[in-house]
Every structure is written in structure tokens, then in C-alpha cells.
A and B are shown apart, each in its own frame.
Chain A
Amino acid sequence: MMDALLDGGLALSLPFLAWLVLHTEALSQAVVLFVAMGLMSALAWARLEAPDIALVEAAVGTGLTGALLMHTLSWTEETAPETLTRATRWVWDILAATALTGVLGWAVLALPTDSQGLGPEVAARLADSGVEHPVTAVLLNFRGYDTLLEIAVLLVAALGARAVNPRTDRPKLETEHDPLTGELFRMMTPAVLLLAGYLVWVGAHGPGGAFQAGAILAGGGVVAILTTRMGTPRMSSRRVRWALLTGPLLFIGVAVAPLFSGGRLLEFPPRLAGTLIFVVELALTVTITLVLLMFFPGARPPKVEPEGAP
């Protein structure tokens, strides 16, 4: 009974919050609503018994994205946009929404009901993977090439983010001698490090792993950028480049190594699999932390005067 109430509340509040985010005129309100929606969807993932996704949603989807949006918001001189005339559009809105709901419903109903997917097969071979958590086993052993390619995509994304972000000097903080922010950072850092380390370690037998740990560390990094004189990591720095490449290089090395001893690509020897996966996850954590941190711009972009302005 309580479960049904909770699930029903979540199921109703999510589309409602999504609608509010899209329809709110004031940007700051939309950002706050977006963060609220992220937290609710993290709860929904947890209720769907997908704690791995719930962790990522809470850390990346809500925490980091929320921080990015808030930071961007501080650059804008917010004025409420002029209200669009929505005289006749609602008919099309309803038609489009009905059509989309119909297609989605049909897709869900057309799924075979008795299929269990690949779950039992993963469970049967879990002992060979070197870890005890099926998600980690799939991500880093059974379908390791997916994760390998994902890391490459993340590197490209970091390059793109750097290309867009403004190239400015390190921000001069007015809070340089601020005891409060410094103290907060000092108190939070050990907890953040401990939590990230725990998440990497626990990935072998429970929800956790490189992505979750990287997201937590990147969150700590964002706090550092905002409250200390750290500044965003720069692509021109050799150390930053090597740190970015730690995960991919090590992963590629581990993936290619079996080829020299007659094995196949990404084929981990079962006895070493657990150790290899842990090392790869540690290296991936470094890369993911830095990639996520590179998305965060440290300074306000230079103002562009509109053309024709005096």
C-alpha cells in the first residue's frame, strides 16, 4: 500500500516537474525545478531497483548538471522572456502528445512478456567475470568494448567542451580570504575522497564503480573551483593531458595484452580478471573526474556587444 502510494507519487510528479521545467518563464526557477526533477528521477531509479543508475543520476544528472546550469545562470542578466502567444498551438500539442504516448505504449506492449533478457545468462557466468556485481561484470568484462568506446567518446566531449569554454585567466576570487568557504572545502574534502574510494572498491560486489566515483570527485572539484584559487584544469598542461589519458591508455593496454599471448581482444584471464577490472576502474575514475571537471567553465565569458550598439 505504502509502496504503491510512493510509486504513484513519483510517477505523477516526474512528468509534472518536467512540464514545469519547460513552461517556467523565469530561468532561475526552471533551473531549481530541473534539480528537483533530477532528484525525483534518482528516487525513481532507486525504486526500480537500479541503484547504479540512481547514483549516476543523482551525481551527474542532478549534481553536476545543476551546478553547470546555476553557474551559467550567474552569467545571464535574467529578464523574464516575453510571453509567447499560444493561441492555437495547444491542439497540436495534444495531438503530438497523444501520438507519442500511443507509439510508446504500443512499443511497450509489443515487448515479449516471457523473455528474461540476458539476465540469467549473465548470472550463470558471473563466477568467470572476476567480480560479484552483474553490472560491473557486464560493463568491464562481458561487454568491455562498450565501456572502452564510451571513454573515447568522453574524451572527445571534453575536447569539445574546452573548445567552447572561454579561455580566461584564473579567476580572482573576492572570497580569497574567506574563512567560511575555505573551511567548508577543508571539511568536505576527506569525506568526498573517502566516498569516491569506497565507490570504486564497492563496484566489484555492489552498486558503484568508476562513473559514480568520478562524478563524486568531479563534484568536489567543482566546489574547489568555486571556493579556492584552483581554477579549471587546462588542456595546455601536460599533467592534465596525461591524467585525461590514464584511463583510456591503461584500458587499451589491458585490452590488447591478451593478443600477444594468443588470446582475444579484451579477454581477461579469469584468475586475474578481478584485479584487472579494479585497476582499470581506478584509472577510469581519474579520467572521468577530469573529463567532467573540464565541462565546468571557471570564468564568465567576455561580454559580446550586440552589433550596432553604441
Chain B
Amino acid sequence: MTVLNVISALFLLAGAGFCLAGTVGVLRFPDIYCRLHALTKVDNLGLGLVVVGLSLEAGSWATALKLFLVWFLVLISSAFTCQLIARAALRRGVGAWGGSRES
């Protein structure tokens, strides 16, 4: 196990941690806007860390570039879909969470 393996494993674990946090957020957050925030922000960071970890192990520049391209495309699409879903919810009159547990 080389130093590179260890660094890669650390990135992968950190990415997995962020993805887990995002998923917990989707399941636990009170309204659609908070859930979107958890899903798009934390998951994108988690995926990015996983991509960094994987590209350290990839062995070739071409593979690493492809991995980063995947991340880039996911970033674009999740940024847009987040906005679209949030706006659709706003138009349908879904209110934002007021801050109290009961509402």
C-alpha cells in the first residue's frame, strides 16, 4: 500500500461521508427546499471527492479526465434540476419551512 493508495482512500471515504450526510438530509429535512439543498450541494461535493479519489487510482490521464467530465456533467444537470424543481414547487404554492417542528 503506497502513499497514493492512502490518500485516494481518504478522499473516497470523505466522499462517501458527504454522500451519506446528503442522503440523511434528504430523509430528515423538513421541506422540499431544504432537501434539495442537501441533495444537490452535499452530494455534488461527495461525488467530487470520490472522483478525486478514483482518479488518483485511475492510472492514466485519459481515465482521470473522463471521471472529471462525469462530475462536471452531473454538476451542470443537478444545478439546473435543483432550480427547476424548486421553482415548480414555488409555483404550486409549496411554502417554505417556517422553523418550527409542528408546521
Binding site for B on A (CB under 8 A): 180-181, 183-184, 187-188, 191
Contacts and interface: CB of A to CB of B under 8 A. Distances in A.
A191 B77 CA distance: 12
Interface string B21-59: 000000000000000000000000000000000000000
A187 B76 CA distance: 9
B6 interface: no
B73 A184 contact: no
B73 A180 contact: no
A181 B84 contact: yes
A184 B83 CA distance: 11
A180 B84 CA distance: 8
14 contacts: A180-B80, A180-B83, A180-B84, A180-B87, A181-B80, A181-B84, A183-B80, A184-B76, A184-B77, A184-B80, A187-B76, A188-B76, A188-B77, A191-B73
Nearest to A183: B80
Interface in B60-96: 73, 76-77, 80, 83-84, 87
Contacts of B80: 180-181, 183-184
Given A181-B80, A184-B80, 12 more contacts: A180-B80, A180-B83, A180-B84, A180-B87, A181-B84, A183-B80, A184-B76, A184-B77, A187-B76, A188-B76, A188-B77, A191-B73
Contacts of B73: 191
A224 B77 CA distance: 15
B47 to A, nearest CB: 15
A223 to B, nearest CB: 10
Contacts of A181: 80, 84
A181 B80 CA distance: 8
Nearest to B80: A184
